[in-house]
Structure 1
């Protein structure tokens, strides 16, 4: 496909997302199924345009003075595709599959509007009702965080230290751009996509098939490490999902001890069986029925709870979720978190650690949730997260944000997806 066809396809996908309020991944998948002639490079380029338009929706609409998906797709291509208006016009000239060109009004707006004059919430591509929520945690730096959350993310890999060392993976992935993260011993990073290119398909590499590494955001790797799982421990990963943090902890435990992983939705847990086989992890027991956990009560050294949340910390990768979030959804997540927090308590032994994690940046799901929990459960005390950070990571590591009851990772502060973690110790009653 030429650029014109790719751009037209992106417009169609954006129109589908807008009219049906559906996830971008679903809309792109359906487009691909109905246009099987499109190659992998075509689909990647179309996806880049779509996701860039969603990440920077407010700013693109403001610069174009238009909320039409047609103009947003053009704006995304101009902003992140590395083309000027004239270069884009020449690229589309004579392409019968190209969309209608930009109107004269939109062209003029793009050329004459000064981004610095846009309201802060537009420069940050942040729903206006979320601004106070970001100010609550980030204070005067909220705009920097919002801007970083609207940029393309890198591709992070976790080296499976049960099977390989980082330098081995770097050699095997030569040509992909993968480089070690200097301050984290198990992480490799491939830089963000440039223009209309695509990330390498690392899961097709023999090293992946052999279980030498997993695809996992650095923030997720960090919170798994901060959980403190060590060889010989008994651990419960209560909302395990597909098992990314389970696998990371298993490597930290050197396959010694036991990790029990459970998720209320069997479909979410299903991928872990193949991942365990590939990674060579032998100390994990998946559980699909809650009754299977009865024997674990008051036995766990660590209960890790990756709680259901709004996912605001993942907006770089799922920008469409930003525009679907409502305050009603936020309130439901807060209620669910409180319920699941209480559900984990029977499994923890005295002296054990409850590790509360979300991929959210909102205090109401994080710091305030823990504050309420501590008031209602005086048998728990907090672990000092600043000290915990220093114990695990050296002076070269970036500094997270430290609210009262945990720590926050974010694109601006730590160059990761957004995560919150708080570690609580159960004392004798």
Structure 2
């Protein structure tokens, strides 16, 4: 594909996404229909689409399209922001987008307008109600966080210390052409400098020496383990395990059999293979098994949430989330806390975690829970944001009276 054809493919995908389709599903469907597209083409189109979604409104403003929204205008804004040759890319040749209109050409020749550029600088690139919540939770840094969410997230790995040191993992990756360096967000974190798309084919990954995981997620697990002083004899439950990222990290640190549960069991399908690769033991539990295995010394609830702390990675989520869905998430989180709290032994620990930047899902949720559960007390509360060099996370560690 030519560079212009990649731009047109991105426009086509964005048209579908702007109509309400999920970005991942849209890109997968395009790739399946476009057998002519090679791996570099697919990667380039994906990058264009995700970059456009991260900065959707500001790119539209740069293109002078601040009242309506079109995929073409957003891509025009992207091309100008990234200093790409728009006249060449929008040529109408080789499946490239149609040539620039007279109006677009005038705008291009003028280098954009001061009004459009001013709008772009002020744009938070998220829904207004979401930005209001971000400002409420982070009054002094909301603008900086919103801008940080418009950039690409780094690719981080967790060194599996049961198999190799951080330095050894870096050396193994280098042998397969992947450059990584230590990341000070977490003692186990590696940040990819070059070769991110090669990671899953490296010996270090295939043999379980490293695992893909954001540095902030690793820092959360380190903080939890440091506070609780996890030991091999402890019974640990990851109540909302999903794909098992935090289960794997907990199991690697504790050296004990870890129990994993998720309301949607299909989300846990990859855990056995990931655990085998990492050299740890994780037992998946169905809902009916929870009471049989309880009580637990430590129960982690990494609850479903807005995902606002990870909107760099899933940028369409910040446009798809509705206020009604947000309210439903708040209720779901409350129900999960209530259910999971009953599985903790007296004297045990309940850990509540989100990848959200909003107080309603974090501090406020925990405060409500503590009012209804007097047997619990808060012993530590931590938060991370993209300004800390990682995704946004929250962790509350609660102790149940013995």
Indicate the TM-score class for this superposition, using the shorter chain for normalisation. Answer: over 0.9
Give the match for residue 236 of structure 2: 235
Determine the C-alpha separation between the residues in 2 that align with 1:113 and 1:376: 55
Give the match for residue 418 of structure 1: 392
Q: CA deviation at 1:313?
A: 1.2
SS of residue matched to 1:97: coil
**Correspondence 1:312-351 to 2 at 5 A:** 312-351=308-347
Contact 1:63/1:109 (CA < 8 Å) preserved in 2?
no
Determine the C-alpha separation between the residues in 2 that align with 1:141 and 1:116: 22
Determine the C-alpha separation between the residues in 2 that align with 1:133 and 1:235: 33
Give the match for residue 248 of structure 1: 249
Q: CA deviation at 1:64?
A: 0.8
Determine the C-alpha separation between the residues in 2 that align with 1:90 and 1:18: 25
Q: CA deviation at 1:75?
A: 2.1
SS of residue matched to 1:189: strand
Give the match for residue 377 of structure 1: 373
1:306 maps onto 2:302 in alignment = yes
Contact 1:65/1:106 (CA < 8 Å) preserved in 2?
no
Deviation string for 1:230-271 (max 9, x for gaps)?
332111100100100000011111x2x331111111110111
Determine the C-alpha separation between the residues in 2 that align with 1:94 and 1:324: 32
Give the match for residue 118 of structure 2: 117
Contact 2:298/2:351 (CA < 8 Å) preserved in 1?
yes
Q: CA deviation at 1:227?
A: 2.1
Determine the C-alpha separation between the residues in 1 that align with 2:14 and 2:218: 32
Give the match for residue 24 of structure 1: 23
Contact 1:227/1:304 (CA < 8 Å) preserved in 2?
no
**Correspondence 1:45-60 to 2 at 5 A:** 45-60=44-59
**Correspondence 1:24-423 to 2 at 5 A:** 24-66=23-65, 67-80=69-82, 82-83=83-84, 87-90=85-88, 93=91, 95-109=93-107, 111-114=111-114, 117-118=118-119, 122-174=122-174, 175-182=177-184, 184-191=186-193, 199-228=196-225, 229-253=230-254, 255=255, 257-282=256-281, 284-287=282-285, 289-297=286-294, 299-384=295-380, 406-412=381-387, 414-423=388-397
SS of residue matched to 1:227: helix
SS of residue matched to 1:31: helix
Q: CA deviation at 1:295?
A: 2.4
Contact 2:134/2:357 (CA < 8 Å) preserved in 1?
yes
| Unmatched 5+ stretches in structure 1 | 385-405
- Residues 411 and 278 (structure 1 numbering): CA distance in 2 closer, same or farther, change over 3 Å? same
SS of residue matched to 1:361: coil
SS of residue matched to 2:243: coil
SS of residue matched to 1:425: strand
| Unmatched 5+ stretches in structure 2 | none
Deviation string for 1:163-199 (max 9, x for gaps)?
11111221222243311113522110024x9xxxx83
Q: CA deviation at 1:132?
A: 1.9
**Which sits farther off after the overlay, 169-178 or 139-148?**
169-178
What's the C-alpha RMSD, in Å, of the aligned pairs?
1.9
Contact 2:62/2:120 (CA < 8 Å) preserved in 1?
no
Determine the C-alpha separation between the residues in 2 that align with 1:149 and 1:140: 16
TM-score (norm 1): 0.86
Contact 1:3/1:92 (CA < 8 Å) preserved in 2?
no
Deviation string for 1:123-173 (max 9, x for gaps)?
221211122201111102110010101111110000111111111221222
Contact 1:302/1:353 (CA < 8 Å) preserved in 2?
yes
- Residues 184 and 55 (structure 1 numbering): CA distance in 2 closer, same or farther, change over 3 Å? same
Deviation string for 1:318-377 (max 9, x for gaps)?
111111111101100000011111111221112211100011111111111011011111
